[in-house]
Amino acid sequence: MAATFGYLDHIIVVTNPNHIMAQPEIQRFLDIHIHREQVPFEVVEVHEEKRYTRKLIRYAGSEGDEVRAFLFLPKKEVVGAVLVHHQHDGDRVIGKSEVAGLAGDPHQFFCPALAERGIMTLAPDSICFEDRRTNMKGQGLEPAPDPDDDIMQHFNEMCYRLLNGTTLMKKVIEDSSIALSLLSELNPAGPDRLGILGHSYGGNTVIFHSPFDERIKFSCSSGAVCSYREKFSTQTGIEMAETIPGFTARYDIEDLLRLIAPRHLLVLSADEDIYAMDAPAVCEAVEPAFAAANAADHLTQVRFKGAHALDGERFEVILGWFVEKFGKE
């Protein structure tokens, strides 16, 4: 029997004699497939530290392309696992290595800090960053002879997909769901102790992945919650993966965040950050959805003074939130 479609708010219910599935309408619009199968991977390198083991691994992305990631395994009891997405910062040479604590800003060194607290982490390169630069494939932190090549190849990844009727965001989120499947398989703390974290570009990935993947129980987005309408009104730049034809004619960021309820969401923003300027207003619009799900206390937003870049205060708040949640739940 063919499936029948019935609309209920933002949910499309698909029913046939053998299968019942509830899918957000926005997910159907974005054409995002959440990967849930086992993920084979290969260990490339192993590095031992006093409190954790760091492994460089590789596995296949959503289009069969190679993804490299750092896996951090605590040497103490594992209390949870977090998928950590790196920022953009206009530098595609550095991807996973920054959140792995190997290069860049120390206030981005989430993986070793979480591992020392008993939290397993996985930090993959996003498409067009570090080992996934098509002009410098597998070359790690080696700069390209012409840095403009990195920018153009990222731009082309967006353009080619738009011309084919798809989006770069679809690729980014489907890759993220594969990484989450891999991390979930390895997480000894169980399915209720699984989270996702990102700042800026990484925070955007959190915003677009978490609504459609109930496996994610704890979502932290820093420096990324900002409505499209705010960006349009202030002429703020739009990141390439956020360029989704027709999206703002129907939806905005609060529509995504509402779908995270009743799971846990932490939103961090700063008062001088143009990429998170109206985060308090967006969170206020989302609060009723959490309240209606009897989870008002599962939405937390913290507003700081400062600019876009992370600082020590925000870094510690993020670490503390995951430690507290994994200890309580």
| 236 φ, ψ (degrees, to nearest 5) | -80, 140
CB-based contacts of 49: which residues, under 8 Å, 6+ apart? 112
Q: Burial letters for 151-165: b for 16+ Cβ neighbours within 10 Å, e otherwise?
A: eebbeebbeebeeee
The pLDDT tens digits of the residues spanning 277-321 come to 999 999 999 999 999 999 999 999 999 999 999 999 999 999 999
**242: buried, middle or exposed (CB in 10 Å: 19+, 13-18, 0-12)?**
buried
- Cα separation, 36 vs 185, whole angstroms: 10
Residue-wise pLDDT for 143-173, tens only, equals 878 878 889 999 999 999 999 999 999 999 9
Kindly state the tokens that stand for 208: 């677009």
pLDDT at 19: 29
pLDDT at 45: 97
For residue 211, whether the previous peptide bond is cis, meaning omega lies within 30 degrees of 0, is no
Task: Please check the confidence at residue 102 and state whether its pLDDT lies above 90.
Answer: yes
Q: Bigger pLDDT: 166 or 93?
A: 166
CA nearest to 326, candidates 2, 82, 26:
82
Residue that the structure tokens 């199968």 belong to = 37
Q: What is the pTM of this model?
A: 0.91
Measured CA distances, 187 to 76, 139, 172, 190, 206 (Å)? 13, 29, 22, 6, 19
Please give the helix or strand (H or E) that residue 5 lies within, else none: strand 4-8
Tokens of 249: 């004619």
Cα separation, 162 vs 300, whole angstroms? 35
Q: What is the pLDDT of residues 31-67, one digit of tens each?
A: 999 999 999 999 999 999 999 999 999 999 999 999 9
Question: Which residues partner with 14 through β-bridges?
Answer: 5, 21
Query: What CA–CA distance (Å, rounded) separates 123 from 47?
Result: 15
**Mean pLDDT across the chain, nearest whole number?**
91
Count CB neighbours of 228 within 10 A.
16
Write down the pLDDT at residue 271: 97
Four-point Cα dihedral 35, 37, 40, 41, nearest 10: 40
Contacts of 247 (CB under 8 A, 6+ apart): 29, 30, 228
Residues 252-272: pLDDT tens digits? 999 999 999 999 999 999 999
> What's the distance, CA 56 to chain centroid?
19
Mean pLDDT of 219-233: 98
